[in-house]
């Protein structure tokens, strides 16, 4: 009966959030901190409502100074709304499964759009945080993050990213978590795997989501075990589950 | 069909009740919940990407992913949907890949049919190769099928879900009516094609606000030709105003699908307007 | 069909060339002009109100107002359209209320047919009781009609204009192709219903930007099933990007209708993008 | 061959206009004056382009201090755009037939939305101008109009409007021109006609327009002589042509 979801009514809550601060992380990407916090575990996400789009938009949750934070890359109407609006933002959360690494002290590799999640994971699992950006990070923002968390490194550009991948592969981390664009995750997984078969690589997958709660089946991904759904089976998957299909 | 309020959740976007995980899903304003279409055989659905939304449309090509009737019946018997039956009336949506599968699934469901307020047959999903919309391509066989199902399920409230393609929806509805069925749901998604921002082509079914004028017209035409049918309106309903328009052109009930992706709380606004309107117009 | 640029003005919105009264109509970017559908008998059209536009749709219920073929031929012979023939290629659009009228009008036009780049038959206008979309309701008769017209106009470039209703558009196109016709225009307006701000119901055909994903899909399906047909894409084309998408899914030419109500100058942008794309992709 | 339009290429021009002043006439209705003027005759209109609507919008043309002026009642997206935008406005003009009264010195009755046209007609034909409004007119605006033109009277409210109709019917004008909402024109025509069969009543008709130039046949109205088109047969019609059909 595995293909039916066990439905436990009442698990997911609705929140109305007010933004307190919006930092620029880099071109087009912002760090949004809210007044409130919500109940969630590392790796989980929220569906964020907007006035301008037909669907709510998935964003991974993070914490900053004990408050809820998300990073938002502006790619369309919804992400723009979230960064720009002054109105309260309605979300439903927590969604998806928490990320549970096999042990602590791994490496967390994130694009600027996933920095909020990255900080939270690094803190929770005592891991090293690598921020991988195409464009330079806002220096003030970086200083702020470094003040909060040692073990942060930032690399800029594609070449530096590839070098970093080789470096961390050699460092002997038990696991590496990667969260960013599909492209970035694919490159990271394949590069790391080509040099080492031991390291457990985890990816936070991106698919267009209708519901975020397992109803609509829009967020399908192909895995070695057949179709899985990012919102209920993920969002974090083991790299081998995804890429060996290709 | 008597409902606490004639506001129905459409088959598909809301799956098998997963929105019930929300602490505050507005069940009190849902007259009936239509389950995602269950087909005879289990379906994995189509390859990703499966959805995109822009400019007033949602496009999807899920492809009727579902566990199939056998697993569905197991789960039903195991009581896993009992919570849903407690919340609201439930409509079952059925499908299949062929004439035989549609008949077979009808026989299989027969012993459980009394648990459902109505049984809806999906003759209009555009995202599957066999069954769905393609079943009506052979009109004579489709007519035979309607009679066959009516014979198997002789006491149930039978609803055919129709789209605007493959024929004139009002003529299709007449055929459904003549076969002794009780109602129709009009419309389903309309076949569409969109390019996402990466330039990938998504070939699927369109839903969302832009369907409203098309669905209004379909309901209007179906009602004109079929005064006797129970009509559930589907397509682009997002507000109380949209719902009232549907009732004005002849719908008996309205259903919401993609709306859930925006915000399920809007159902309450719709239900309140519908109650108000029916209170006034009766 | 060879055109200076495969950008066509659709039948209807631009009438019989009245936009030519504009001092700067972009004729240099128009590959062909399709005249408003001429029917066998004169038509007064429907009662007002006939149009409304909102939220990405234009809705109209003109009802093929036109002076009929006899007056048309008089005017044509009198040379009143000569200025238009000098500006661009002209496509004639024909209609009728019945099988006989469609045949008769074909015979009447035969002596003048060589003046037109192509002759398009309107089998898809949703705003008339007889003819238009309703002509295909009787499929067998419609097929017979296609063969009959092909026999009468045995040398002309014949195009059938099809909508998405009353059947599967790709199957309809196959029928057209099998009857020896040269091309199809897909799609026409889609049947819709809107309420204007005064609450009046307007029951007509939908055009405008919201049609684009529906028309893209129709062209895609028609092309897949009919590699041999010349396809003119119609529906929701407003920008160069829209036009390129149409070419990508299989159109040979694009046509613009409601766009003219917004601004005829946008035709130039479309034509330039199309030229650029074809230059690159050839 | 009357049902085909004789097409004279090149008669209609395109203009890009800049607003110089926007006065409030009354609630929701504005008087918009442009830098430029265009070639037109009294009673003719323009199709005015907007960025926000699918169709251009018809507005009757007027003059103010030698510059083009239109009055705009905000009823939807298009009219709002015209009043609010700071960008140049693209129009095509002149459209429709000029209004030609049988003689001068008639009466011109207009709603605030047609004041620009009204002033122009009154000046051209030495007529009396009556502005009939549901809500009080902006005093400054009214003073401005009165300074420009004597023979202006303004009535406010439905009752005053009916009294005015009776008054002017008795005054023995050879003709009365009415321009406003369908409702207002119908009331005016029927009231005047019920008291006098002599006065020639002219109405400027409103229908939704697609093209404004005779192509699309959307602007049909039913008249005693069958279907006519506001954009090419009008916009001004003799009242008897329209209302005796009912
Ligand atoms: C579980 C999950 C967690 C996410 N967390 C974050 C996050 O923390 N920060 C962040 O910036 N983004 C995150 N995303 C991606 C984010 O949801 C999308 O960028 C956002 O939905 C785009 O919405 P839009 O309205 O701005 O753009 P749209 O107009 O919806 O889309 C613009 C472009 O982005 C693409 N796109 C839209 N949604 C997705 C998606 N879900 N995956 C991949 N491509 C998409 C579209 O195909 C289109 O090309 C996450 C996605 C998922 C599935
Ligand atoms: C020849 C002519 C001259 C006109 N001159 C003026 C003028 O000088 N000043 C002025 O304020 N208005 C004038 N109008 C009316 C004006 O064109 C409409 O109010 C305008 O087009 C509305 O556009 P919108 O986008 O704001 O509203 P929309 O969203 O288009 O419509 C809002 C509401 O107005 C109604 N409507 C829209 N267009 C018309 C129309 N043409 N006739 C009647 N109802 C309509 C709609 O049914 C709807 O209920 C004229 C109309 C015509 C035909
Ligand atoms: C993601 C998605 C899945 C759907 N799945 C089904 C389905 O399984 N069976 C069905 O009959 N209709 C299905 N539909 C169609 C809806 O029930 C509804 O008829 C359509 O979406 C139009 O209504 P809307 O505009 O309110 O969404 C689906 C629609 C969407 C968007
Ligand atoms: C006002 C109006 C009149 C039309 N008249 C005709 C017609 O006479 N014959 C025809 O084949 N199509 C007619 N059409 C359909 C258009 O040719 C075109 O196929 C349709 O509007 C979709 O394209 P668009 O979105 O570019 O307008 C008409 C459309 C409109 C809006
Ligand atoms: S987003 Fe709906 S099932 Fe995952
Ligand atoms: S508005 Fe197009 S004919 Fe009058």
Q: Can you list the alpha helix ranges (DSSP code H) found in chain B?
A: 68-77, 82-87, 99-109, 139-152, 169-178, 212-225, 240-248, 259-262, 266-281
- Of B169, B187, B183, B273, nearest to B233 by C-alpha is B187
Count of structural domains within chain B: 1
In chain A, list all ranges with CATH 3.40.50.
105-241
Q: What is the ipTM of this complex?
A: 0.96
Average confidence score pLDDT of chain D: 92
What is the residue range of C225's domain?
A: 7-45+65-194+209-281
A182 interfacial to chain B (CB closer than 8 Å): no
Q: Please, what is the angle between helix B139-152 and helix B169-178, to 10°?
A: 40
3-state secondary structure of D237: strand
Compute CA C50 distance to the chain's CA centroid, rounded to the nearest angstrom: 19
Average confidence score pLDDT of chain A: 92
Check residue A3 and give its pLDDT. 60
Measured between CA atoms, the residue of chain C closest to residue D91 is C263
Domain assignment of residue C264, yes or no? yes
pLDDT in tens, B238-282: 999 999 999 999 999 999 999 999 999 999 999 999 999 999 765
Domain A105-241 in CATH 3.40.50? The answer is yes
Measured over the CA atoms of residue A87, residue A93, residue A97 and residue A100, the dihedral's sign is positive
Q: Cβ separation of D210 and C13 shorter than 8 Å? A: yes
Q: Is C125 a catalytic residue?
A: yes
C-alpha separations of D187 from A5, A225, C90, D155 in Å: 65, 75, 47, 15
- Give the Cβ contact number of residue C268 at 10 Å: 15
Counting ligand 3 atoms within 8 A of each CB, the residue from A55, A209, A216 with the most, and so the one to mutate, is A216
Report chain C residues whose CB lies below 8 A from the CB of B245: 195
pLDDT in tens, D161-195: 999 999 999 998 999 999 999 899 999 999 998 88
- Of D233, D235, D231, nearest to D12 by C-alpha is D231
pLDDT in tens, C116-171: 999 999 998 888 777 778 888 889 999 999 999 999 999 999 999 999 999 999 99
- Select from B51, B173, B214, B244 the residue whose CB has the most chain C CBs within 10 Å, as the one to mutate to test that interface: B214
Quote the minimal CA–CA distance from B116 to chain A in Å. 19
Instruction: Write the secondary structure of chain A as one string of H (helix), E (strand) and C (coil).
Output: CCCCCCCCCCCEEEEEECEEEEEEEECCEEEEEECCCCCCCCCCEEEECCCCCCCCEEEECEEECCEEEEEEECCCHHHHHHHHCCCCEEEEEEECCCCCCCCCCCEEEECHHHHHHHHHHHHHCCCEEEEEECCCCCHHHHHHHHHHCCCEEEEECHHHHHHHHHHHHHCCCCEEEEECCHHHHHHHHHHHHHHCCCCEEEEECCCCCCCCCCCCCCCEEEECCEEEEHHHHCCEEEHHHHHCCC
CA angle A153, A159, A164 (to 5 degrees): 35
Check residue D242 and give its pLDDT. 84
Check residue C280 and give its pLDDT. 73
Structurally, at CATH architecture level, domain A13-95 sits in Beta Barrel (2.40)
Domain assignment of residue C50, yes or no? no
Determine the distance separating the centroid of ligand 1 and the alpha carbon of A20, expressed in angstroms. Answer: 23
Q: Distance between CA B188 and CA D91 in Å, rounded?
A: 41
| Closest atom, ligand 1, to C-alpha of A181 | 43
Ligand nearest to the CA of A229: 5
Assess whether pLDDT exceeds 60 at residue D245. no
Q: What is the pTM of this model?
A: 0.96
In this structure, the residues whose C-beta lies within 6 A of any atom of ligand 5 are A 209-212, 214-219, 229, 231
Q: Which residues contact A17 (CB under 8 A, 6 or more apart)?
A: A34, A35, A36, A38, A68, A88, A89, A90, A91
Quote the minimal CA–CA distance from D108 to chain C in Å. 27
Domain assignment of residue B54, yes or no? no
Active-site position among B35, B76, B109, B125: B125
For B252, the enclosing helix (H) or strand (E) is: none
Tokens 């083009």 belong to D68
Domain assignment of residue C36, yes or no? yes
- Select from B21, B53, B73 the residue whose CB has the most chain A CBs within 10 Å, as the one to mutate to test that interface: B21
Q: What share of chain A in percent tops pLDDT 90?
A: 82
Domain assignment of residue B60, yes or no? no
Any idea what DSSP says for residue C46?
P
pLDDT in tens, C36-52: 999 999 999 999 999 99
Q: Whose CA is nearest to atom 10 of ligand 4?
A: C11
Assess whether pLDDT exceeds 80 at residue D243. no
Assess whether pLDDT exceeds 50 at residue A1. no
Check residue D196 and give its pLDDT. 87
| Segments in chain B below pLDDT 70 | 281-282
- Output phi, psi for C257, to 5 deg: -125, -85
CATH (domain of C107) = 3.20.20.70
Check residue D5 and give its pLDDT. 67
Do the Cβ atoms of A41 and A95 come closer than 8 Å?
no
């Amino acid at each position: 009966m595995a293909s039916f979801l066990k439905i436990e009514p009442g698990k997911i809550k609705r929140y109305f959030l007010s933004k307190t601060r919006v930092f620029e992380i880099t071109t087009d990407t912002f760090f949004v901190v809210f007044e409130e916090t919500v109940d969630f575990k590392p790796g989980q996400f929220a569906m964020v409502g907007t006035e301008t789009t037909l669907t709510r938009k998935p964003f991974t949750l993070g914490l900053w100074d004990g408050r809820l934070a998300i990073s938002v890359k502006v790619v369309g109407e919804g992400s723009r709304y979230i960064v720009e609006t002054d109105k309260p933002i309605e979300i439903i959360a927590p969604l998806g499964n928490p990320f549970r690494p096999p042990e602590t002290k791994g490496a967390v590799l994130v694009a600027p759009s996933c920095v909020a999640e990255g900080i939270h994971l690094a803190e929770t699992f005592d891991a090293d945080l690598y921020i991988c950006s195409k464009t330079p990070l806002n220096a003030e923002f970086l200083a702020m993050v470094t003040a909060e968390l040692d073990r942060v490194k930032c690399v800029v550009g594609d070449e530096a990213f590839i070098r970093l991948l080789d470096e961390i592969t050699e460092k002997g981390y038990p696991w590496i978590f990667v969260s960013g664009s599909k492209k970035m995750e694919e490159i990271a997984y394949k590069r790391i795997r080509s040099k080492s078969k031991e390291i457990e690589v985890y990816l936070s997958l991106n698919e267009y989501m209708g519901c975020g709660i397992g109803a609509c089946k829009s967020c399908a991904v192909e895995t070695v075990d057949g179709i899985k759904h990012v919102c209920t089976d993920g969002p974090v998957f083991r790299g081998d589950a995804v890429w060996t299909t290709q | 069909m008597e409902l606490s309020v004639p506001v129905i959740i459409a088959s598909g976007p809301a799956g098998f009740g997963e929105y019930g995980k929300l602490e505050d899903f507005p069940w009190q304003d849902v007259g009936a919940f239509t389950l995602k279409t269950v087909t005879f055989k289990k379906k994995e659905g189509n390859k990703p990407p499966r959805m995109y939304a822009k400019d007033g449309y949602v496009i999807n090509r899920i492809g009727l992913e579902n566990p199939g009737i056998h697993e569905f019946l197991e789960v039903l018997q195991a009581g896993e949907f009992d919570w849903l039956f407690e919340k609201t009336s439930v409509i079952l949506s059925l499908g299949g890949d062929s004439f035989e599968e549609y008949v077979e699934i009808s026989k299989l469901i027969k012993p459980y049919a009394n648990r459902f307020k109505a049984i809806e047959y999906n003759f209009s999903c555009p995202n599957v190769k066999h069954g769905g919309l393609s079943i009506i391509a052979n009109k004579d066989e489709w007519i035979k099928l309607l009679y066959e199902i009516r014979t198997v399920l002789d006491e149930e409230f039978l609803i055919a879900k129709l789209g605007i393609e493959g024929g004139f929806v009002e003529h299709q509805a007449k055929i459904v009516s003549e076969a002794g069925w009780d109602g129709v749901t009009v419309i389903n998604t309309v076949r569409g094609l969109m390019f996402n921002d990466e330039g990938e082509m998504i070939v699927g079914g369109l839903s969302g606000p832009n369907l409203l004028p098309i669905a209004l017209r379909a309901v209007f035409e179906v009602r004109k030709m079929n005064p006797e049918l129970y009509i559930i309106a589907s397509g682009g309903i997002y507000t109380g105003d949209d719902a009232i328009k549907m009732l004005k052109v002849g719908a008996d009930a309205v259903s919401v699908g993609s709306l859930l992706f925006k915000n399920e709380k809007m159902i309450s606004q719709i239900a309140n307007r519908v109650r108000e309107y029916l209170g006034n117009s009766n």
